Amino acid sequence: MHPQRFYTLSASCPDRVGIVARVSGFIAEHQGWILESRYHADDGSDGSRYFMRIEVKADSLPFHLAEFRERFQPIANELQMDWKISDSAVKKRVVILVSKQEHCLYDLLSRWQSKELDIEIPCMISNHDTFKGFVEWHGIPFHLVPVNPDNKAAAYAEMQRLFDEVSGDTMVLARYMQIIPPEMCSAYPGQIINIHHSFLPSFVGAKPYHQAYQRGVKLIGATCHYVTSELDQGPIIEQDVIRIDHSDSVDDMVRYGKDIEKAVLARGLRYHLEDRVLVHGNKTVVFR
């Protein structure tokens, strides 16, 4: 990431001749200084689509973000573009959900404290009070929202209320061991990120390491993905694997997997926060 303030334009549209010229021409017309640009054309079954991500030095433009949006909108309409633009000076607000597994939580808070993840964490939500003292020691409000078969609707309504109350941008399931209901997925499309302790699409659902052990696999992994109403089937952001062999027990696999989970979640979250992930259907284009 560049040290100076910049705007990030990320967009996709039906592929055609002249897209880059149209967009870069608009930026150049206003003396905009492009710091980084990435492009990708995808020939899918539903037609060709073009993806782009452009970083523009903020003080090179004669106007702020609101006016950029207003001036760029006619071009976006012409190109039938899905697009957004963000300001690097505005920190994203990330709400973390956790249950009883601590490794991803500890890792994210360490990266947050060191400014490696330059974000705001306005609150944390859990269905257990295991980490209440630890979280509050970091100066982060902790909300206990128990979830059981009799109160699920009310519990998830409370979680949505808390997320909206703090103006959350992204919700991260840092080994939050509950299934997010379809209504909540629909309320925040592309805003809920999960770390699944398996190399999806293999071994969805509960106890994937046990499933992998029974299957005798030689590779285990972790997957960072967006949450949708289909369990562990959302668009994949990042993945990684580690090799194992016949001598490794389930406990060994769990121990190895924790290291992968932390790294994959941190990378996937960073890509998302930096607007490097563009979703198309159930696939993603990730400009690393």
DSSP state of 93: B
Q: Which of 107, 169, 232, 275 is catalytic?
A: 232
Sheet of 6-14: strand order equals: 34-44, 47-57, 6-14, 82-87
Q: Note if 232 is an active site residue.
A: yes
User: E-strand spans in 207-276?
Assistant: 219-226, 236-243
Cβ-Cβ contacts under 8 Å for 122 (sequence gap 6 or more) = 93, 95, 140, 141, 166, 167, 168
Neighbours of 272 (CB within 10 A): 24
Cα–Cα distance, 8 to 74 (Å, whole number): 18
In terms of Cα–Cα distance, which of 274, 282, 276, 259 is closest to 118? Answer: 274
Is the torsion defined by CA of 98, 103, 106, 112 positive or negative? negative
CB-CB contact of 223 with 264 (8 Å): yes
Token pair 């925040």 is found at 188
Integer Cα distance of 68 and 85 in angstroms: 9
Question: What residues are labeled active site?
Answer: 232
